[in-house]
Structures are given as structure tokens and as C-alpha cells.
Amino acid sequence: MNAMTETGLRVLSYSEAIREAMAIAMENDPTVILMGEDIGVYGGAFQVTLDLVDRFGPDRVMDTPISELGGAGVAVGAALTGLKPIYEFQFSDFAMLAMEQIVNQAAKLRYMLGGEASVPVVFRLPAGSGTGAAAQHSQSIEAWFGHVPGLKVLQPATPEDAKGMLLSALADPDPVMIFEHKLLYKMKGHVPEGSYLTPIGKALVRRSGTDLTIVAGSIMVHRALEAAERLAAEGISAEVIDLRSIRPIDAETILASVRKTGRLMVVYEGVKAFGVGAEISAMVAESDAFDHLDAPILRLGAADAPVPYNPDLERAAVPQVETIEAAARRLARREV
């Protein structure tokens, strides 16, 4: 249900914003369809699709069998015929079962057919830890897909971006993967009414600062902002950049910030090794921004282990506000 702030701004939860985006797209474009396991009457594993089957019918909100490879393949085929499917994985981890269709088919067909065909499919992927879902249902694998030419990979951090980036993804002729952190679904924020597009490939400076740059995505944006607030009380000014898009990545915004602050920390929930932080670090090292660095680049990622089931271990395995704050303090004071 919609709510209004004291300033008259409309407030929705992250999941409500996604549902509204899908409803707007389906009302405006009859080629938009939804597919996925239990997305109809049940409303999806995280209740994001809720009443959409009642509004648009089972011909456009289609429950698929428990076969991610088959469901994703049908979605890719539907996109090739002129439809605009949104395929929901119950957990992002299950996309591993559909790698053939995502990586070998959807990502490559426009190239292999000389631009004569496009694959306008959107994959929605609930991701991340923090729900006690253990090692096979809590991973952050967005960097895997960022490695694949032909895919766009998004990580909206706010309800406003969740809606705007989904609408942008539907307007894109190529396959787009949207990783939605499970802990964000209940988060509320200002969401404009009607249809609007949040640009793909454009990062956003969520907080300006002068002493160090913190680049983060998804839920880590909020943890970085809280850490930056705490650091400000100590006189440390942290600039926080919301990546929003992993591929394409907004090098310009990141490099400009590094030139200003002279220090860089990248925070991400994926395993530290071979992750988003490694790509951003290399990007900076290969640019003129490297000459502006006053300290080594710091990566803060998940432990090199499967996500634990135990809640204390699960929390310890991925960056939290406290660990971001401590690492940023060391970086600002040149203790790294």
C-alpha cells in the first residue's frame, strides 16, 4: 500500500516498487510477460509478483516447471519471437542451472546473428546473504555474469532505482540481469509515480566526501553510508558511490572521485577474490587516477568460504557496517 511522507513524497517498499514497474510495463506493452516458478497465485518466493496474475491473467503471468534451464530457455526463445519476458529465479543461485541459456544463448545471439536479432529478456535474481538460507541459497554471483560480453548486470540499491532500472531493462534490446538483494525487499523509500527510466551504466554519488572513496553496490551502499556517517563524527569525510550497474560500469564517476580523494575502498558481498573489487582496482590502476592515490587500494569482500548457516558466522562472512567503518578508518589514516 502506498504511503506518503510529511513532505508529500510517495513511499513504497523495494518489492512494491518492482511490482509497480512490472504492472506499468504490462499495462503499456502487451508483449511484456512474466515467467518463473510459483510467481502466479503464490506471488513468488519473496512475494514480489503477488496480485499480478489476478490483474493480467495466467497467459501473461506464467508459472513455469521446476526447471531453471527450461524456464530460462523458454524466456530466451520468447524474446527472440518479439516478446519481452521477465523471468524470475527464486534465488540467484539457481541461475547456475541456466548458464547455457543465459551465457551461451541470450548473451551471444545478437552477435552471432550479425545484429539481425535481439534478445530483450530480463532476468530477476534475488541475491545475497542475511536470511539464514545457507550456502546454496545465499551467494552473490553478480561478478560471474559481469564477465560475459552481451549481458548487462544491475544492482539497484533503493526502491526508486529498483523501479527505474527494471523499466530501463525492459526498454533495452539486450539481455539484462537484475540482482535484487533479499534484505532490501522490505526497505522503503521515495518512489516517483508513473513511468521513468534510471540510466543503465551510470553510478551515483550518494554522499560527497574528500578523504576517501567507498565504492559499493546493492545493500553494501547502505552499510557504507552508515559507516560514513559514523566516520564523519571523527572528522573523516568519506565519499560513497553507488555502482548501480556492474556491466556496463561507470568508470568516469569512480575515477573522478579517486582523483579527488586519493584513496579507494571497494565494498562488495561477493567473495573477495576475482570479484567486482578486483575489476575496479585494475581499472583505477590502468588509469591516470592511479597517480592520485595516496594509499593502496583496499578491497572488502566476503570470506573465501561458502556462506554459513549459523547466523553469527553468516554475519561474519560478509562486510558489515562495523567492518566497513574500521577498514575505512585504517585507509584514511594510512594504516593499510
The residues carrying an active-site annotation are: 68, 137
Under 8 Å between Cβ of 291 and 240:
no
303: Cβ–Cβ under 8 A, 6 or more apart, which residues? 271, 272, 316, 317, 318
CB-count exposure of residue 237 (10 Å: 0-12, 13-18, 19+): middle
Under 8 Å between Cβ of 280 and 96:
no
Amino acid code (one letter) for 17: A
Question: H or E stretch including 277?
Answer: helix 276-285
3-state secondary structure of 198: coil
**Cα gap 94→136, rounded to integer Å:** 9
